[in-house]
Structure 1
Amino acid sequence: MRKILEVLENSRIIHNNQVREVQLIEARELKKNKQELLEFINFAWEIYKNDPHWVPPLKNDLLSSFLNTGNNSNGKINCGPHAFFMAWENDTPLGRVLVGINQEKNIRIRDNVGYFGYLEVVNSQPALEAIMDKALEWLKGYGIDCIVGPLCPDDDVEGRGVLIKGFDSPPILMNPYNPPYYQTLLKNAGFTKDMDFYAYYSNELGKLKGKIERLADYAMKKFNFTVEKVNFKKLDAEIKDACQIFEKIIKAGNEVDNGFEYSNPPTFESFFEEMKKYLPFLDKDLIYIARSEGKPIGFVLAIPDYNQVLKKINGKLFPFGLFKYLWYKQKINGIRGFAQFVIPEFQNKAVNGAMFKHIIEVSEKKGYDYFEASTICEHNLPSRRTFENEGLSPYKIYRVYRKGNRKSN
């Protein structure tokens, strides 16, 4: 008890450039009702109110996913037990975190880990440790002593990792953003690197296309494959082909290389639902499948950077945010290479490059100015080489942290 009091007496909280003494930090589990979950959501606006690069999420969309209601009836967190925690100093919120267990994933990867996500905290070591200690304590109640994150519970690409490099620009759609001090707080709390994910960027699409084009055209002839735009008139068949690609990658044991270790790989049903969900936001000219002798070998999906729109509406679509959405939607000038997969037999044969050649070619014609490929697992060398061989290097790095030992280690 004396040691705890000494830590509190000597602690300082730095928030909004103000330093104040820590009086008492209380961390507790929130009730899963609208009032307390809104407090959880709204806390992010306190952390980022002076940050020009932060992109606010849609509050109602996030709330309905947490409550498992509305259009998000599947829920982002409907994959196992979960809990929301917040920390306060007196009545002032200091931090928040979601903790949970993806039971299906644990069975698939033969591990026994919990995840954390939606982490936000002021620059205070005691505040970070207060919420993470509660998260670990909660997991131990389920016999789990290893936690990994930040991760979105059932999505392998949204909000994955802590930004550790590239704080000088806003995030592209679905990528995380956080203050630079997060990595220091986590490291000091005993968290270590589990895996890094990279983002590559180019605002010279013509130059990038020229470099990729020469190799892609040669590879398509040499290795006998073609690249075709996804046909939305036969979407069921196209999605089945894409799922065949995912299944071959998993069976070959390439889950870690492609980031599938961190979530459940898509089934036909889940992928079809995701496509329907995001259909209003997709550019149908930016989705391609590569085939060899009629069989699917590669898939790539790029999406317009709707973060440019979300930034303008500050978390509220209604009533006036809708008009801003419709206006700024027409002005989006960048895209994100959102997903890229190639079956093992055709890796290192420039299939990724050939698919991205088509993406970049169409992007130029449609007036997009910049392109980001993300997030690519550090071990996914074929995908990394597609861009690094053209002179690009990771301009943003996202780190997934771990505390405790994996069962598989």
Structure 2
Amino acid sequence: MIEIYEVKTKKDIDDFTMLPFDLYKAKDNWVPPLISDYKKYIKGKTSSVNEVGESIMYLAKKDGKLAGRILVGLNEELNEYHGVRDSYFSQYECIDDPEVSKVLFDQASKWAKEHGSNLLKGPMSLPGGDDNRGFLLDNFDEPPMIQNVYNFKYYNDQVLDAGFSKYHDCYAFDGSPDKKVVDRYAKIIPYAMKKYKFRLDKFRLDKDGIKKDALDVSEVIKKGMPNNKDWVDLMPPSREEIDNIVAAAAPLADADFIYIARNEKDEPIAFNIAVPDYNQVLKKMNGKKNPFAILKFLYNKRKINQMRVFVLFVVPEYRNKGVTQAIYFKIMDNAIKKGYKKIEGSTIWDYNMPMLNDILKAGAKISKTYRVYQKEI
């Protein structure tokens, strides 16, 4: 017998949080989140960036045993910006049982329809986030990088069986350090920077510098975000959201991997955000934040040897002028000097052609595909 019910109590939250710890206990490539942080995250209490908004969480049991979970909600700000009423689902986990998965997806569809939606998409990030996007479609032999997804391969079958179809794919790219590429870029990049009159400045992580650089990031996004509404999964973040993102990233960041490009008038024209892959450390902590786990974090932090590039924005008038390649060159050059073995750029929507073209020109190759699905309801 299958039972589905709303998450309401503290025990329900605990069960929702801990279900994947049981499901993936035999999977070496799954990375457990920090339990206390995750509970805040799903309740929208981490920051104003991750306000969950109108949403609901469900748990499913089969024969009295926990068997699946799902979160479904409305991203009100995004819907208003694009003039739609779409719902999203997120945080999906389930045993390999099509009956359980169908009950979960049917319940999510029912909630979405009752709240005025005619389309349900997912898996998606919680509002304001840039994580948990899509089901991993391939390359199940590697662990995910920080804030990326790992899931069972059968999830893609379960969502199709529930009546969903492909919406869009998001890609991860392997742009790992290559001395030959760096040496080649070292001859080309200075020429492009001189011709198009721009420079690269390291992002300042000190208290005063971070405020100024966050303002420049905001300016680049305003100019670089498409004015049309074809990118229906994105909207320009507010200044408050940018400040929160920068503040959250700063303690984890390394200034050798984050740059702001400025032109001869000192105007910001591009920026990137890259963070060391702390999943390499989280894997060893098993969701805990006790003193012993923190000691593990501090010890293993020094051994991180890969990173994820989350974002790279270039204003339209400076695209195809070597700005993206200049930033990649600096990141790769510093990565080699610091002993990094892998760089991943992710996740890029399949309709973001400017970014896809730039990263392919830089020599990166698609390493993982994450698929987002949709269902008319």
* Normalised TM-score (structure 1): 0.86
2:57, 2:70 within 8 Å by CA — same for their partners in 1?
yes
- Inter-partner Cα distance in structure 1 for 2:209 and 2:73: 37
Which residue of 80, 90, 94 corresponds with 1:107?
A: 80
1:172, 1:305 within 8 Å by CA — same for their partners in 2?
yes
SS of the residue corresponding to residue 320 of structure 1 reads helix
Name the aligned partner's letter for residue 283 of structure 1.
D
1:66, 1:75 within 8 Å by CA — same for their partners in 2?
no
The farther-off stretch of 188-197 and 200-209 is 200-209
Distance of aligned partners of 1:254 and 1:355 in 2 relative to their CA distance in 1, 3 Å threshold: farther
Aligned to 2:311: 339
Aligned to 1:85: 58
Sequence identity of aligned pairs in percent?
34
Aligned to 2:351: 379
Residue deviations 1:125-151 (CA, integer Å, cap 9, x gap): 111110111111111221112111111
2:71, 2:91 within 8 Å by CA — same for their partners in 1?
yes
Aligned to 2:233: 262
Distance of aligned partners of 1:390 and 1:295 in 2 relative to their CA distance in 1, 3 Å threshold: closer
The alpha-carbon deviation at position 43 of structure 1 amounts to: 0.5
Which residue of 110, 116, 122 corresponds with 1:149?
A: 122
2:340 paired with 1:363: no
Which residue of 34, 41, 51 corresponds with 2:10?
A: 34
- Inter-partner Cα distance in structure 2 for 1:306 and 1:315: 13
Distance of aligned partners of 1:214 and 1:190 in 2 relative to their CA distance in 1, 3 Å threshold: farther
The farther-off stretch of 189-198 and 95-104 is 189-198
The alpha-carbon deviation at position 111 of structure 1 amounts to: 1.3
- Inter-partner Cα distance in structure 2 for 1:108 and 1:136: 23
Aligned to 2:23: 47
- Inter-partner Cα distance in structure 1 for 2:230 and 2:223: 10
SS of the residue corresponding to residue 262 of structure 1 reads coil
- Inter-partner Cα distance in structure 2 for 1:59 and 1:100: 22
Which residue of 207, 220, 224 corresponds with 1:245?
A: 220
- Inter-partner Cα distance in structure 1 for 2:241 and 2:197: 31
- Inter-partner Cα distance in structure 1 for 2:319 and 2:229: 11
Which residue of 147, 157, 170 corresponds with 2:143?
A: 170
Aligned to 2:326: 354
The farther-off stretch of 217-226 and 284-293 is 217-226
Aligned to 1:161: 134
Which residue of 184, 197, 204 corresponds with 1:231?
A: 204
Within-5 A mapping of 1:175-186: 175-186=148-159
Unmatched 5+ residue regions in structure 1? 1-23
2:49, 2:128 within 8 Å by CA — same for their partners in 1?
no
* Normalised TM-score (structure 2): 0.94
Which residue of 242, 258, 280 corresponds with 2:251?
A: 280
- Inter-partner Cα distance in structure 2 for 1:207 and 1:384: 22
1:67, 1:75 within 8 Å by CA — same for their partners in 2?
no
Aligned to 2:95: 122
Name the aligned partner's letter for residue 302 of structure 2.
Q
2:140 paired with 1:191: no
Residue deviations 1:271-307 (CA, integer Å, cap 9, x gap): 1122222322111221101112221111111110000
Aligned to 1:221: 194
Between Structure 1 and Structure 2, how many residues are aligned? 374
The farther-off stretch of 187-196 and 49-58 is 187-196
1:123, 1:181 within 8 Å by CA — same for their partners in 2?
yes
Aligned to 2:365: 393
- Inter-partner Cα distance in structure 1 for 2:227 and 2:183: 33
- Inter-partner Cα distance in structure 2 for 1:177 and 1:239: 31
Name the aligned partner's letter for residue 211 of structure 2.
D
The alpha-carbon deviation at position 390 of structure 1 amounts to: 4.6
The alpha-carbon deviation at position 73 of structure 1 amounts to: 5.3
Which residue of 294, 301, 315 corresponds with 2:287?
A: 315
Unmatched 5+ residue regions in structure 2? none
1:117, 1:152 within 8 Å by CA — same for their partners in 2?
yes
The alpha-carbon deviation at position 403 of structure 1 amounts to: 0.8
The CA RMSD measured in Å over matched residues stands at 1.9
